[in-house]
């Protein structure tokens, strides 16, 4: 059977089985990872997925619709990573890492011992979700490209509701951590949305520089980042204990600087903390 006809039959099977959308999204992620965001077109996605050029239009009428679907997936993953980091911090109390039991020993929680759970340290939660953000960025640099791409509102319109909602949900983890810091006296009173925005800006900037290998000349053991290879940097970051320690030290320094700057006179205007913003 001719290859073109085989591709056509494969496309029909995918469509009727209901997995065409998934195949197109995976092809799109592959393209962004391999060639960058500029190379992403519906025609290229169709070719990569092995379907007809018209097939993507069943699910994505425009390139913007495809990008929005990808961004929604990215923010869903980021929201999950930050939420899990926050939950782990709450379960383990204020310590930086959970205790390591002996071989075969169960870990007794405060609830198992009939004790009240220790209060969650807001600064530790802030650090943990920041670390989760950096780890996510290094593991999925192609997703960050899509999630935070410039949006041309005149031609593309506003983000669809589902994308806006999941973006707000991810940001809410940071907002909540800042509110906890304020309640514990670890951050000044005032507009916590503004404080959260400044904290996010620091972490996002650090994550972007780190996972793109731009810090190799400035940090110890930075030789693996010298090539500027995003994926090599991300793999080295994820695998190496030295890199994890360096990440943690830099994040702690960023957090200390954020707290000191936020507490400086005149840094914050008085006002009630916003419930949620994006």
198 and 269 housed in the same domain: yes
Listed range (2-6, 63-67, 133-137, 148-152) with the worst mean pLDDT: 2-6
How confident is the model over 29-63, as pLDDT tens digits? 999 999 999 999 999 999 999 999 999 999 999 99
187 and 206 housed in the same domain: yes
Confidence band for 221, pLDDT divided at 50, 70 and 90: low
How confident is the model over 157-202, as pLDDT tens digits? 999 999 999 999 999 999 999 999 999 998 888 888 999 999 999 9
Mean pLDDT of the 60-74 span? 97
Listed range (34-48, 68-82, 262-276) with the worst mean pLDDT: 262-276
In angstroms, the Cα distances linking 176 to 8, 77, 89, 90, 193 are 50, 19, 14, 13, 10
Q: Give yes or no for a contact between 123 and 255, defined as CB atoms under 8 angstroms apart.
A: yes
What is the residue range of 155's domain? 63-97+116-278
If one compares 51 and 277, the residue with the highest pLDDT of the two is 51
Q: Which two tokens stand for residue 29?
A: 């992620």
How confident is the model over 82-129, as pLDDT tens digits? 999 999 988 774 444 433 334 344 444 444 545 555 578 999 999 999
Listed range (96-100, 195-199, 246-250, 262-266) with the worst mean pLDDT: 96-100
**pLDDT number for residue 226:** 37
Mean pLDDT of the 70-76 span? 97
Q: Concatenate the DSSP letters of all residues of 179-196 into one string.
A: HHHHHTTSS-SS-HHHHH
Cα 189 to Cα 124: distance, rounded to the nearest angstrom: 18
Residue 73: CB atoms within 10 Å: 19
**pLDDT number for residue 33:** 94
Q: Is the pLDDT of residue 275 over 50?
A: no
**pLDDT number for residue 218:** 66
CATH code, domain with 15: 1.10.10
11 and 75 housed in the same domain: no
**pLDDT number for residue 261:** 80
**pLDDT number for residue 266:** 56
147 and 121 housed in the same domain: yes
Among positive and negative, which fits the CA dihedral 208, 210, 212, 215?
A: positive
53 and 138 housed in the same domain: no
Rama region for 12: left / alpha / beta (φ>0; ψ in -120 to 50; rest): alpha
83 and 144 housed in the same domain: yes
Mean pLDDT of the 236-254 span? 75
Does a structural domain hold residue 104?
no
76 and 207 housed in the same domain: yes
In angstroms, the Cα distances linking 256 to 110, 250, 251, 260, 262 are 29, 10, 9, 6, 10
Cα-based angle 145, 149, 151 (whole degrees, multiple of 5)? 165
143 and 56 housed in the same domain: no
Cα 131 to Cα 28: distance, rounded to the nearest angstrom: 27
Cα 124 to Cα 38: distance, rounded to the nearest angstrom: 38
Total structural domains in the chain? 2
Q: Is the pLDDT of residue 22 over 90?
A: yes
């Amino acid at each position: 059977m001719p290859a073109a006809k085989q591709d056509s039959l494969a496309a029909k099977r995918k469509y009727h089985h209901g997995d065409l959308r998934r195949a197109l999204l995976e092809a799109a992620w592959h393209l962004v990872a391999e060639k960058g965001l500029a190379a992403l077109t519906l025609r290229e996605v169709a070719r990569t997925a092995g379907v007809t050029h018209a097939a993507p239009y069943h699910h994505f009428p425009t390139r913007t619709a495809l990008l929005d679907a990808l961004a929604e997936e990215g923010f869903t993953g980021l929201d999950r990573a930050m939420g899990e980091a926050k939950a782990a911090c709450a379960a383990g109390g204020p310590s930086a890492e959970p205790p390591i039991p002996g071989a075969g020993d169960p870990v007794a929680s405060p609830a198992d011992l009939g004790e009240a759970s220790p209060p969650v340290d807001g600064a530790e939660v802030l650090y943990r979700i920041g670390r989760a953000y950096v780890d996510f960025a290094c593991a999925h640099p192609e997703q960050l490209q899509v999630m935070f791409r410039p949006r041309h509102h005149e031609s593309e319109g506003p983000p669809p509701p589902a994308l806006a909602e999941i973006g707000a949900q991810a940001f809410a983890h940071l907002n909540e951590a800042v509110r906890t810091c304020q309640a514990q006296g670890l951050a000044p009173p005032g507009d916590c949305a503004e404080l959260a925005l400044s904290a996010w800006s620091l972490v996002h900037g650090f994550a972007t520089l780190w996972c793109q290998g731009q810090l190799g000349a400035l940090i110890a053991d930075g030789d693996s980042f010298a090539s500027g290879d995003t994926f090599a940097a991300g793999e080295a970051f994820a695998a190496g204990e030295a890199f994890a320690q360096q990440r943690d030290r830099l994040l702690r320094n960023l957090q200390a600087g954020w707290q000191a700057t936020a507490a400086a006179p005149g840094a914050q205007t008085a006002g009630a903390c916003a419930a949620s913003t994006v």
